[in-house]
């Protein structure tokens, strides 16, 4: 098949290597000149585990998208409207457009593509932790998952997509019954946002920090307690959506096998793939300040937590912890631009239910 990866970052590079083993594979990127056809994946010991086969990097949309069978989008959620417009002329019934990971509301950006017969799908989580070593040439991938989960619109296509994804990445992939299992996944939208709130809770202009804390290795119980409260609110949303099978929206308490906040803190601090990752800051002459241009801020609040809050509002639920975390973000960043279901014609609970019932 023809497979195109949109984005040559950490996950995009990793996916391209896997897909190229048996497929004609393209990377759609603004810097094709830095990519080699035999990109390498290495493990934590810098040993080569997989080498790409004739990967073609291009910035030409027609070359990348025309006649593509599968497209994997690895760009952040705030860029998906733009990507949807670029893909629109090529949408057809044989095209499968995937979002990795599938959270962030990107599925709504492709409403018109669905009308042209295309399938929209998303992975619940990325295949592993991936970090570029040299852009276009080498990526380190550690901690591969034993199982992937995929959902699709229309939902009848999920099994077909799961079979293809499993073959592309060589990891078993299970089809989920409804795309809301992705939209409601309580991963980065509450994991990153609660950490940022507790980390920078007292921040305002004029405050400077003398060091950059480690994001995961210095995780604390205050964050875990807030995370548990937000996690419970997500589960309350799932319980209220009685007409949908949302059994795959696992509580983070269950996902991390941590029955208490203290256990969660210890678990997150110990995860090998998280070690060494610093908190999003930028250096000034006076010290360090939060980096509000970081993807943790630009994606996980306005295109993550905001979506969960809006769904809670559609349902008329009391979700004070998620709302409080979202209000903190708005105040500290003064950002007014957020994902809105209304931009896609979804204005109330009935509109919401109709779209996700496809």
Give the residue from 130, 145, 178 where a domain finishes: 178
Helix axes 261-270, 221-240, angle to 10 degrees: 110
CATH code of 34's domain: 3.40.50.720
On whether residue 98 sits in a domain, the answer given is yes
68 shares a domain with 170: yes
168 shares a domain with 103: yes
Radius of gyration of the chain (CA): 20
On whether residue 207 sits in a domain, the answer given is yes
Q: Going residue by residue through the chain, which has 358 residues, state the pLDDT in tens, using 9 for 90 and above.
A: 999 999 999 999 999 999 999 999 999 999 999 999 999 999 999 999 999 999 999 999 999 999 999 999 999 888 899 999 999 999 999 999 999 999 888 999 999 999 999 999 999 889 999 999 999 999 999 999 999 999 999 999 999 999 999 999 999 999 999 999 999 988 889 999 999 999 999 999 999 999 999 999 999 999 999 999 999 999 999 999 999 999 999 999 999 999 999 999 999 999 987 889 999 999 999 999 999 999 899 989 999 999 999 999 999 999 999 999 999 999 999 988 899 999 999 999 999 999 999 8
On whether residue 210 sits in a domain, the answer given is yes
Give the residue from 178, 210, 243 where a domain finishes: 178
On whether residue 24 sits in a domain, the answer given is yes
Three-state secondary structure call for residue 328:
helix
Structural domain total, the chain = 2
226 shares a domain with 159: no
145 shares a domain with 198: no
170 shares a domain with 48: yes
236 shares a domain with 161: no
346 shares a domain with 288: yes
Digit-coded pLDDT (tens) for 277-298: 999 999 999 999 999 999 899 9
On whether residue 172 sits in a domain, the answer given is yes
Q: Determine the pLDDT at residue 103.
A: 84
196 shares a domain with 55: no
Give the residue from 113, 148, 178 where a domain finishes: 178
DSSP 274: G
224 shares a domain with 171: no
Q: Determine the pLDDT at residue 335.
A: 86
154 shares a domain with 8: yes
What pTM does this model have? 0.84
Q: Determine the pLDDT at residue 92.
A: 96
* 189-141-178-338 Cα dihedral, nearest 10 degrees: 30
Nearest to 338 by CA among 305, 313, 290: 305
Cβ 228 vs Cβ 325: under 8 Å:
no
What is the residue range of 10's domain?
2-178
Q: Determine the pLDDT at residue 161.
A: 98
52 shares a domain with 169: yes
Cβ 127 vs Cβ 168: under 8 Å:
no
On whether residue 183 sits in a domain, the answer given is no
On whether residue 146 sits in a domain, the answer given is yes
Digit-coded pLDDT (tens) for 93-128: 999 999 999 988 899 999 999 999 999 999 988 999
197 shares a domain with 156: no
CA distance 6 to 27: 6
Cβ 77 vs Cβ 303: under 8 Å:
yes
CATH code of 272's domain: 1.10.1040.10
On whether residue 213 sits in a domain, the answer given is yes
């Amino acid at each position: 098949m023809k497979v195109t990866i949109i984005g040559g970052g950490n996950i995009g590079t990793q996916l391209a290597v896997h897909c190229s083993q048996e497929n004609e594979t393209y990377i759609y990127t603004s810097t094709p000149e830095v990519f080699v056809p035999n990109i390498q994946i290495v493990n934590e010991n810098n040993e080569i585990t997989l080498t790409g086969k004739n990967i073609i990097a291009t910035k030409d949309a027609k070359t990348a998208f025309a006649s593509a069978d599968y497209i994997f989008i690895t760009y952040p959620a705030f860029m998906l409207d733009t990507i949807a417009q670029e893909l629109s002329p090529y949408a057809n019934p044989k095209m499968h457009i995937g979002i990795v990971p599938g959270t962030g509301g990107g599925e709504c950006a492709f409403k018109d593509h669905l009308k042209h017969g295309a399938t929209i799908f998303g992975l619940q989580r990325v295949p592993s932790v991936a970090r570029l070593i040299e852009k276009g040439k080498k990526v380190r991938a550690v901690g591969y998952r034993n199982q992937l989960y995929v959902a699709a619109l229309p939902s009848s296509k999920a099994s077909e997509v799961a079979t293809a994804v499993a073959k592309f990445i060589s990891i078993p992939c299970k089809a989920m019954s409804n795309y809301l299992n992705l939209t409601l996944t309580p991963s980065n939208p509450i994991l990153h946002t609660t950490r940022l709130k507790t980390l920078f809770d007292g921040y305002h202009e004029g405050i400077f920090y003398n060091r950059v804390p480690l994001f995961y290795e210095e995780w604390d119980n205050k964050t875990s307690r807030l995370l548990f409260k937000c996690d419970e609110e997500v589960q309350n949303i799932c319980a209220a959506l009685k007409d949908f099978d949302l059994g795959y929206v696992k509580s983070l308490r269950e996902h991390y096998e941590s029955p208490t906040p203290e256990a969660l803190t210890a678990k997150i601090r110990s995860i090998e793939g998280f070690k060494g990752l610093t908190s999003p800051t930028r250096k000034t002459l006076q010290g360090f300040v939060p980096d509000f241009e970081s993807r943790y801020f630009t994606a996980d609040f306005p295109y993550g937590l905001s979506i969960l809050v809006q769904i809670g509002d559609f349902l008329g639920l009391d979700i004070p912890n998620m709302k409080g975390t979202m209000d903190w973000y708005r105040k500290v960043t003064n950002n007014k631009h957020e994902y809105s279901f209304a931009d896609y014609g979804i204005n109330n609970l009935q509109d919401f239910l109709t779209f996700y019932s496809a």
